[in-house]
Amino acid sequence: MGTTLMTGGTRGLGRHAAAHLLRTRPDDHLVLLVRGDGDIARQLTRETGNPNVTTVRCDLASLADIRRAAAEVRERLATRPPLTGFLANAGLQMTSTEATTADGFELTFGVNVLANHLLLNLLLDLFANPARIIVVGSGVHFGDGKNGLGVVPPPRWDGVTALAAPRPGGVRAGREAYATSKLGVVYLVHALKRRLPAGIDVYSYAPGFVPGTGLIRDAGVLSRAAVATVGQLLRATPIGAGPAKAGRTLARTLTGPRPGDSGEYVDRGVAMRSSEESYDRAREEELWAVADELCGLAATRRTA
């Protein structure tokens, strides 16, 4: 028996992944970090027949709330099975680069990268061995037309401090920030892999093109309608999938056979090489060090 901690489990492919985990791992416990209170745990119990699901309120756009939620998770795990899985599915894409987190960071980078860095580091000592960590990224980090569908620009890595700062920019800048944050996810996973003991594996994961997830809910009505139309067409192609299928594949990657060596990039359950740009140890270590400073972890490490 074990406990899986999950973000982004209330809608879209994440909701389907959570349901699949509950159906296929009836003796495990699932803890969902959710932004609001809601009744997602009761809904999932009714849907799957498995009562082993609880929620912890957490706003991933607030470092203080992440710390509070991590402390609550730590308290709960004192009386529950050990932490054996972590599924970081939450993410967002904004229509600008001007929105900020509660701490003043550019919102996309703050939630997609810094929140995962802080949450994982606050909980690392709780993981059992073996354990598996998956951080959801995206194929858009390749910066090509195939993965970006001609809509998402290539990532632009300007350094962590610059990327974490809000700046003027409209829809294109927001999409570029999203692609860049997903490149940051790969860097984060590579850096974390070097710091984990053997037996605790970490992967970046690309779910493919999955319409109906709510990812672009910040976009305008026309943009959402266009993506929905294209998405329905792409679901029947190799690059697309519906939320239910994508969620099952994501859940199986967490609980099934080891998909590859720790640190690898997994595309819809299959380990493969990520973009050439994603193999940059200097950037990976810069991200780790600057994220430590921005998240308030550096002082703790110096005194540990």
Residue 148 corresponds to which tokens in the numbers above?
């970006």
Of 39-48, 147-156, 216-225, where does the model show the most confidence? 39-48
Give residue 219's pLDDT.
43
Every domain of the chain and the residues it spans: 3-208+243-303
Give the span between the Cα atoms of 96 and 174, in whole angstroms: 4
**pLDDT at residue 229 greater than cutoff 50:** no
| Percent of the chain scoring above 70 in pLDDT | 89
Give residue 227's pLDDT.
47
Q: Cα 5 vs. chain centroid, distance in angstroms? A: 12
3-state secondary structure of 47: helix
Mean pLDDT of the chain: 91
**pLDDT at residue 238 greater than cutoff 60:** no
Summarize pLDDT for 59-93 with one digit per residue, the tens. 999 999 999 999 999 999 999 999 999 999 999 99
**pLDDT at residue 224 greater than cutoff 80:** no
| Amino acid found at 230 | V
Residue 166 corresponds to which tokens in the numbers above?
């809000």
Instruction: Write down the pTM of the prediction.
Output: 0.91
**pLDDT at residue 231 greater than cutoff 60:** no
Give residue 225's pLDDT.
45
Summarize pLDDT for 141-173 with one digit per residue, the tens. 999 988 887 889 999 999 999 999 999 999 999
Give residue 234's pLDDT.
53
**Cβ 208 vs Cβ 12: under 8 Å:** no
| Percent of the chain scoring above 90 in pLDDT | 83
Q: Which CATH number fits domain 3-208+243-303: 3.40.50.980, 3.30.2350.10, 3.40.50.300, 3.40.50.720?
A: 3.40.50.720
Closest residue by Cα to residue 118 from 75, 157, 62, 80: 62
Give residue 38's pLDDT.
76
Give the span between the Cα atoms of 26 and 10, in whole angstroms: 19
Give the span between the Cα atoms of 71 and 205, in whole angstroms: 27
Q: Which residues contact 152 (CB under 8 A, 6 or more apart)?
A: 140, 175, 176, 178, 179
**Cβ 117 vs Cβ 86: under 8 Å:** no
3-state secondary structure of 34: strand
Which residue is it, tokens 């967490």? 254
Residue 254 corresponds to which tokens in the numbers above?
């967490």
Sheet with 3-7, edge to edge strand ranges: 53-57, 29-34, 3-7, 83-88, 127-136, 200-206, 265-267, 270-272
